[in-house]
Amino acid sequence: MAAILQGVGKLAATAGFVGVAANSCLFNVDAGCRGVIFDRFRGVLQEVKHEGTHFLIPFVQTPHIYDVKTNPKMIRTATGSNDLQTVNVSLRILYRPEPAKLPQIYSELGLDYDERVLPSITNEVLKAVIARYNAEELITKRYTVTDAITKLLIERADQFGIILDDVALTHLTFSNEFTSAVEQKQIAQQKAEMARYRVEEAEQRKLAAVIRAEGDAEAALLVSNAMQKSGEGLIEMRKLEAAEEISTNLSRNQRVTYLPSGQNSPGILLNLQS
């Protein structure tokens, strides 16, 4: 019985050892990832392992897994414009490693390749591109600035085996002093526009008054000439015209009633309140 138990123990131990050895000979590469193997004798193997289960030599080979899906990264920096203004820039990058170059990336940069490369080349590109434009152009030509940054940054990242799927200039501000100066300039321009508007308004009023006075003088001259020719007849005609206009307006008013005159009393107009 003891011999049987001893045999079973040896068998279990052997099976366990075989299981551990078999498990150490396998490694998995998940979806959206790639594997690179470091061999103690041959160095980094050039074959890139795709998704699935793969064999390796225990204690000799070590797998390293890279995420090859697109990942976002936000980089912020401060640089100077062409007119020596301090510009605060935020750049969003969507990046991924080029699978075929993973052995080179591991050999030269390691697993944290993005932290080693992207901040450095992004700052370099931003400083080079922003320095071409002054503060006003950075605002009015934002699309052109972003396009220039994107092209140059893609070229630099490609040298390190990194693919950039998208580059976006998400934030661009200037120093507090410059922002305050711009605001003061805008306020001064608005005040100047208001002052110019008021001057133009006064000129128009003055012109209107002159025209009105000239019209009144011409009208008075015409009346004076007419009176010299017609005497009191013009005045009587104007009285009749005014009386006709007044009576027409009163006749259209429903709240005014006309009572015919009696034998010794003139006709009157009554305003009946509703």
Sheet with 86-97, strands from edge to edge, namely 71-80, 86-97, 162-174
Residue 174 has a pLDDT of 83
75 and 168 in a single domain? The answer is yes
Q: Write out the two tokens for 248.
A: 């027409």
CATH of the domain at 88: 3.30.479.30
| The pLDDT of residue 210 | 76
Q: What is the pLDDT of residue 7?
A: 58
Res 202: pLDDT? 77
Stretches where the chain sits below pLDDT 70 are 1-23, 176-189, 191, 223, 226-228, 230-236, 253-274
233-251 vs 176-230: helix crossing angle, rounded to 10: 120
Burial letters for 116-126: b for 16+ Cβ neighbours within 10 Å, e otherwise?
A: ebbeebbbebb
Q: List the domain range (segments joined by +) for residue 167.
A: 71-180
Predicted pLDDT of residue 216: 72
Residues paired with residue 86 on neighbouring β-strands, in sequence order: 80
2 in a domain, yes or no?
Answer: no
Same domain, 138 and 156: yes
Q: Is residue 187 part of a domain?
A: no
Residue 34, domain member (yes or no)? yes
Q: In the chain, how many domains are there?
A: 3
Predicted pLDDT at 230: 64
Cβ atoms within 10 Å of 34's Cβ, excluding its own? 19
Based on the domain organization, do 217 and 255 belong to the same domain?
yes
Whether residue 27 is contained in a domain is answered as yes
Phi–psi pair at 79, nearest 5 degrees = -145, -175
Q: What is the pLDDT of residues 140-163, one digit of tens each?
A: 888 999 999 999 999 999 999 999
Q: Are residues 164 and 111 in the same domain?
A: yes
**pLDDT attached to residue 72:** 95
